[in-house]
Amino acid sequence: MMFSEVKGIIVKSAGTASDAVTIVTKNMIRWADVIFVMEEKHKQELIKIDCSSCCKIQVLGIPDLFYRGQPELKQLIYEKMQPYIKQFNLR
- Domain total in the chain: 1
pLDDT in tens, 34-69: 999 999 999 999 999 998 888 899 999 999 999 888
Cα–Cα distance measured from residue 65 to residue 77, given in angstroms and rounded to the nearest whole number: 13
Residue 53: domain span: 1-91
CA 49 to each of CA 11, 35, 82: distance values in angstroms, whole numbers, following the listed order: 20, 13, 28
Close Cβ partners of 13 (under 8 Å, ≥ 6 residues apart): 1, 2, 22
Using alpha carbons, select from 85, 87, 62 the residue that is nearest to residue 75: 62
Mean pLDDT, rounded, for 8-23: 90
Average pLDDT in the 21-30 region? Answer: 94
CATH code of the domain covering residue 44:
3.40.50.2300
Report pLDDT digits (tens) over 72-87: 999 999 999 999 887 7
| Residue 59: φ, ψ to 5° | -90, 125
